[in-house]
């Protein structure tokens, strides 16, 4: 039996970071399963998947050693043990629209998703009654300063041992640093057939452009707004004389369906991201 872990390293680029981290893990009897790194405008980011034989894994020692290494390098290093045999723990981030949140909860009831909803995080209190109705912890994080808000969200996610995050119409833009911590583990639903109409007011943009087909896109969140790898899409035909309100209503129903479809694909471990493209494996 193996013990798996995900390690992220973020900070100003400098020589030797990869070597220092991988050498430390070698000393801890770890096997490097996967490693991805990049440097953007002097900012270094790395995600590393490691594994141990159960008898060789001392999680406390690895965590302590990585914390010391983070201080030495002047970088932010996080360490999360993962268990491939338990249900994936999901955090749902919302703002005020309930339709996607409700669709996820409906799919969880008959066990169709194979995941565990662990908590709900929001920048508003609008959907707190919905979370309580479903017996979920509800954490409100004011989004006055993004850095402080994201720091608090990371603490909450770590405290609840979250494996992946779903943005169920969460209406705030996440920073590249936050996204990198959960690379290809944050799933969003966007109300357009991306790459068309990124950003806010997508339905209004489609309506004003007179498009004849309107759609929605479930995608992994990347460091670029609404440009992440696409998991699932769907669309509907705009009928003659259809109002903006009717388009929004039809779109929201499709958002719920497509987001649940994307979660099913993700949780069945049938997805791989290769050069920015999602493939079923």
Residue 157 φ/ψ, nearest 5 degrees:
-60, -40
DSSP-derived letter for residue 206 is: H
The pLDDT of residue 250: 96
Q: Which CATH number fits domain 88-280: 3.40.50.170, 3.30.360.10, 3.40.50.300, 3.40.50.150?
A: 3.40.50.170
**CATH level 3 topology of 2-82:** Alpha-Beta Plaits (3.30.70)
pLDDT band, very low/low/confident/very high, at 274 (cuts 50, 70, 90): low
End-to-end C-alpha distance for the chain, whole angstroms: 23
84: left (phi over 0), alpha (psi -120 to 50) or beta: alpha
pLDDT on residue 206? 93
| pLDDT for residue 281 | 61
Q: Looking at the predicted structure, is the pLDDT value of residue 176 above 90? A: no
DSSP code for 6: E
CA distances for 78 relative to 49, 141, 147, 157, 193, angstroms: 12, 21, 17, 12, 34
The domain ranges of the chain are 2-82, 88-280
What is the full DSSP assignment across 120-145? EEESSSTTHHHHHHTT--EEE---SS
* 280 pLDDT above the threshold of 70: no
Q: How many angstroms separate the Cα of 162 from the Cα of each of 34, 87, 118, 213? A: 20, 11, 7, 37
The total of other beta-carbon atoms located within 10 Å of residue 129's CB is 11
Q: Can you name the residues that pair with 10 across neighbouring β-strands?
A: 45, 76
Strand, coil or helix: 165:
strand
d(CA 21, CA 24): 5
What is the average per-residue pLDDT within 28-49? 90
Residue among 79, 11, 19 at smallest CA distance from 44? 11
147 is catalytic: no
The structure's pTM equals 0.85
pLDDT at res. 126:
97
User: In the numeric block, which tokens belong to residue 41?
Assistant: 């405008």
Q: pLDDT tens digits for 191-238? A: 999 988 988 899 999 999 999 999 999 999 988 778 889 999 999 999
Q: Taking the CB of residue 175, how many other CB atoms lie within 10 A of it?
A: 13
Given 13, 163, 226, 234, the catalytic residue: 226
**Rg of the chain taking only CA atoms, in angstroms:** 20
Q: Looking at the predicted structure, is the pLDDT value of residue 275 above 60? A: no
Question: Which tens digit of pLDDT belongs to each residue from 80-126?
Answer: 887 767 788 999 999 999 999 999 999 998 777 889 999 999 999 99
List 50's β-bridge partners, or say none. Answer: 5, 32
> How many other CB atoms are there within 10 angstroms of residue 170's CB atom?
25
For 231-266, how does the pLDDT look when each residue is reduced to its tens digit (9 = 90+)?
999 999 999 989 999 999 999 999 999 999 999 999
- Which helix (DSSP H) or strand (DSSP E) does residue 21 occupy? helix 17-27
């Amino acid at each position: 039996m193996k013990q798996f872990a995900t390690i992220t390293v973020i900070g100003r680029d400098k020589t030797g970071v990869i070597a220092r981290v991988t050498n430390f893990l070698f000393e801890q009897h770890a096997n490097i399963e996967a490693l991805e790194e990049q440097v953007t405008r002097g900012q270094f980011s790395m995600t590393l998947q490691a594994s141990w034989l159960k008898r060789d894994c001392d999680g406390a020692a690895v965590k302590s050693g990585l914390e010391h290494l983070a201080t030495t390098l002047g970088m932010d290093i996080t360490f999360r043990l993962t268990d491939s045999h338990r249900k994936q723990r999901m955090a749902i981030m919302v703002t005020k629209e309930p339709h996607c949140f409700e669709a996820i909860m409906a799919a969880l009831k008959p066990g169709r998703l194979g995941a565990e909803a662990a908590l709900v995080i929001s920048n508003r209190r609008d959907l707190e009654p919905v979370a309580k109705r479903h017996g979920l912890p509800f954490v409100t994080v004011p989004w006055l300063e993004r850095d402080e808000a994201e720091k608090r969200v990371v603490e909450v996610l770590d405290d609840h041992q979250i494996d992946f995050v779903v943005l169920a119409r969460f209406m705030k833009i996440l920073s590249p640093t936050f996204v990198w911590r959960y690379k290809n583990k944050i799933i969003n639903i966007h109300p357009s057939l991306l790459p068309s109409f990124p950003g806010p007011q997508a339905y209004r943009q489609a309506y004003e452009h007179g498009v004849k087909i309107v759609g929605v896109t479930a995608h992994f969140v990347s460091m670029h707004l609404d440009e992440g790898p696409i998991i699932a899409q769907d669309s509907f035909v705009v009928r003659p004389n259809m109002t903006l309100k009717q388009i929004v209503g039809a779109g929201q129903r499709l958002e719920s369906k497509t987001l649940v479809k994307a979660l099913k694909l993700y949780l069945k471990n049938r997805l791989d991201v290769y050069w920015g493209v999602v493939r079923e494996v």
